[in-house]
Amino acid sequence: MLTTNPFDDDKLREECGIFGVSGASGAAALTALGLHALQHRGQEAAGITSFDGTLFHTHRAMGHVAGNFDRDDVIRGLPGEVACGHVRYSTTGETALRNVQPLYADLSTGGFAIAHNGNISNAMKLRRELVRRGSIFQSTSDTETIIHLVATSNYRTLLDRFIDALKQVEGAYSLIVMTPEGMIACRDPLGIRPLVMGRLDGAVIFASETVALDVCGATFERAVEPGELVIVQGTEIRSIHPFQAVDARPCIFEWVYFSRPDSIAGDQSVYSVRKEIGAQLALEAPVDADLVIPVPDSGVPAAIGYAQASGIPFELGIIRSHYVGRTFIQPGDKVRHLGVKLKHNANRALIRGKKVVLIDDSIVRGTTSLKIVQMMREAGAAEVHMRIASPPTRHSCFYGVDTPERAKLLAAKLDLGGMTDFIHADSLSFVSIEGLYKALNAARGDKPSYCDACFTGDYPTTLTDHDESSTVDQFAMLAERVA
């Protein structure tokens, strides 16, 4: 089996996408529409849970929203005016239906459904403690830890139990929770993962990105604030801030790659920010070239910005096919190699004899960049220069992004010259961390205003599970050396 998406396989995987609606007739159908708009955030599985005032109804499936939630029989099986949904790319837990969200449990307070975007960085430690106290887990997802913390809390009301649970977790979370009493939407105190709120004919809607509001015809009201819990009963809302206030650190990679370019994040157009990153890159890393070529599709806005700032013509030198399935059976190595070109192919007539600047959003393992440079060489490019619209990715993410372990990150292993040689480019440059912040109209001072740990190693929270795992690994290595 070969993935026919070779340029996307070497990307940092989007975390997940969540969507919720309260007070709308046909809430499940609206949720399915919203999940379509968030499909880029998770393409492994999807699920929707609805509440009809008496019973909870859930449908979860592996694969995309289309094909699973565009059937009348499925939507009819999800009645009610309240619903929440989730698209998933697993960052913790195995790829299995039992891990597909929303997760649901019957608690002493009634039904409890939860959809989570992010990653609980002390989930394994909490899980061990809960199992010792008698909890029985039904999934390997870190999200289920929250359910058990709520179930075992000594507080009386469900809201207090939920707050008690959240005060025990570390890491990143944007959550939509459904109970018989109503819906709760919240973000972690640092606001690492995004969540916005909108209205549609009185109904209250929550989504990971504003594009989901646009697609379902809702009006954007505001972002859910870091550390805020928004409690919805029908169409009435109230807000509380139960956590100690801290300086927010939203994930900077939302503007670089994760969010759709037609979304608004942090009151800024994602598309405009990406163009400005490209312009900064042109100022910091100019090159004598004939063409600026984006790596489709995520490199397009930055390439436009680079071309406009440099005066070098922008051209589509790599053509992407949108009609190829994700995988297909390969009978041999020769066909497997040719299969790479099913999804992306060089525009040979344009490239031959030209000095080209390739613009991409990031380099992870470097294997994708190597393929792209090779493609340009085979198409007859005279020179191939690579420009990257983010700083070098040198550190793993522990907040809901499926990052390779650090040893597999190209920038963690090699310096700039080594990376340039590895991808066989004539030159390679990354936008600086200062240039990235400038594109966001911010400055990286003593207290950075974004989570940029994948570039800098400056993690905004403790990393209990990772630190404990590292300690175990160190002891194991020491024991091996002693033996």
Question: What would the two tokens of residue 171 be?
Answer: 């890491």
The angle subtended at Cα 9 by Cα 6 and Cα 10, nearest 5°, is 105
The two structure tokens encoding residue 144: 């289920």
Residue 400 structure tokens: 């809901």
Question: Where is the binding site for [4Fe-4S] cluster, in residues?
Answer: 251, 397, 451, 454
* 186 annotated active-site: no
User: Taking Cα atoms as reference points, which of 414, 381, 394 lies closest to residue 457?
Assistant: 394
Round to whole Å and give the CA distance between 332 and 340.
13
Cβ-contact 69, 35 below 8 angstroms: yes
DSSP line for 400-424 = S-BPPPGGG-HHHH--HHHHHHHHT
Q: Do β-strands 355-360 and 291-294 pair in parallel, antiparallel, or remain unpaired?
A: parallel
Q: Which residue in 16, 84, 186, 216 is the catalytic one? A: 16
Which residues sit opposite 293 in a β-bridge?
Answer: 358
Evaluate whether 44 touches 17 at the Cβ level (below 8 Å). no
* Binding-site annotation, residues for Mg(2+): 298, 360-361
| Rounded-to-integer distance, Cα 464 and Cα 398, Å | 10
User: Among candidates 84, 52, 104, which has minimal Cα distance to 184?
Assistant: 84
Which residue is it, tokens 């033996």?
A: 483
Give the span between the Cα atoms of 318 and 114, in whole angstroms: 41
Catalytic positions, written as ranges? 16
